Amino acid sequence: MTQIDIETPLAQLQEISSNKMSIIMFSGTADKFIPLGVLSQAAAAIGMNVGIFVTGFALLAFTKQHHELPFPTEFADMAPQISQGMTQNNVASWDTMLRQAKDLGAQVYACSMMSGVMGLKMEDFNDLVDDIVGAATFLQAAEGGETFFV
Amino acid sequence: MDETTTGRILIDSTGSPCPGPITDLALAYRRSKVGDLLELWATDPGIRTDVRAWAAKTGNEILSISDSDGKIVVVIRIAKR
């Protein structure tokens, strides 16, 4: 635990308490990967430490084997319109954004338990994945920062 | 720090959506020196507040945020590396 001195200036306190963003990436649909890319890249750009814990169906998007992310059925009708809008607005793909975040220091971890359940080993993951870790490792790394479940 | 070697660096992020402009700024910041002026051009309106968040987080100074020919122009002085 970080000891905070009563004389510590406010700016420094903010740095201690909120310079970390962690995302638990669980969902496996295309729409949920857009905020993953945007928030990771933006947080890394403003100098935050970014850690992403990938589990559940989201793991499929991090394998070497090409995996087309499905749109959730309730929004499937809007998928072509969204794709076209993203292209017209020059929005980068989620993996391009995540790659940029990693270039700025973000770390991506695959959940060891779900990797095992899905029969995925380190060599099955693409270069976005830094390591396979247990839940406690991620929780310890995320402690004291902002954590989102996607 | 040798002030005579500082410069003004232009970052053109026009047409790039959020979080493109703030990322372009972060990448230019990596290569900058204390005293440098960074001039960021963007069209995504999110940059007006994003650049304030970036400056607060990194300890740098915004000199101006203005509109010019349909683009937003932000001038930043690098105070901290």
The domain spans of chain B are 3-77
Minimal CA separation from A98 to chain B, in Å: 11
What is the percentage of chain B residues whose pLDDT exceeds 70? 94
Q: Does A44 touch chain B (CB under 8 A)?
A: yes
| E strand map for B1-81 | 8-13, 37-42, 61-68, 71-77
CB atoms A46 and B18 under 8 Å:
no
CA separation for the pair B35, A109 (Å, rounded): 38
Give residue B6's pLDDT.
74
Minimal CA separation from A137 to chain B, in Å: 26
When the pLDDT of each residue in chain A is averaged and rounded to a whole number, the result is 90
Contacts of B13 in chain A (CB under 8 A): none
Residues 6+ apart with CB under 8 A from A70: A28, A29, A30
> At the topology level of CATH, where does A19-63+90-149 sit?
Hypothetical Protein Ychn; Chain: A, (3.40.1260)
Q: What is the mean pLDDT of residues B45-49?
A: 93
The domain spans of chain A are 19-63+90-149
Give the residue from chain A lying closest to B23, CA to CA. Answer: A45
Q: Does B45 touch chain A (CB under 8 A)?
A: no
Looking only at the bridges linking them, the beta strands covering B71-77 and B61-68 are antiparallel
CB atoms A42 and B17 under 8 Å:
no
Q: What is the mean pLDDT of residues B57-70?
A: 95
CB atoms inside a 10 Å sphere around CB A81: 10
Is the preceding peptide bond at B19 cis, omega within 30 degrees of 0? yes
Minimal CA separation from A118 to chain B, in Å: 33
Q: What is the mean pLDDT of residues A121-138?
A: 96
Give residue B30's pLDDT.
94
What is the percentage of chain A residues whose pLDDT exceeds 90? 85
CB atoms A91 and B22 under 8 Å:
no
Interface residue of A34, A46, A104 to substitute, partner B, most B CBs within 10 Å: A46
Asked whether the predicted pLDDT for residue A20 surpasses 80, the reply is: yes
Asked whether the predicted pLDDT for residue A1 surpasses 90, the reply is: no
Asked whether the predicted pLDDT for residue A18 surpasses 80, the reply is: no
Evaluate whether B79 touches B55 at the Cβ level (below 8 Å).
Answer: no
Of A57, A49, A50, A61, the closest CA to residue A27 belongs to: A57
B27 in active site: no
Looking only at the bridges linking them, the beta strands covering B37-42 and B71-77 are antiparallel
Would you state the structure tokens that stand for residue A89, as one six-digit string? 């607005």
Identify the CATH number of the domain defined by range B3-77.
3.30.110.40
DSSP B34: T
CB atoms A46 and B22 under 8 Å:
yes
Three-state secondary structure along A12-38?
HHHHHHHCEEEEEECCCCHHHHHHHHH
DSSP A69: P
Give residue B74's pLDDT.
98
Annotated catalytic residue: which of B9, B11, B18, B62? B18
Contacts of A89 in chain B (CB under 8 A): 17
CA separation for the pair A71, A114 (Å, rounded): 22
Asked whether the predicted pLDDT for residue A5 surpasses 70, the reply is: no
Q: Is the pTM of this model over 0.90?
A: no
**What tens digit of pLDDT does each residue of B14-30 get?**
999 999 999 999 999 99
Q: What is the mean pLDDT of residues A3-25?
A: 66
Interface predicted TM-score (ipTM)? 0.82
Sign of CA dihedral A72, A77, A80, A86: negative
Give residue A66's pLDDT.
87
Q: Does A41 touch chain B (CB under 8 A)?
A: yes
Give residue B4's pLDDT.
52
For residue A54, the SS3 value is strand
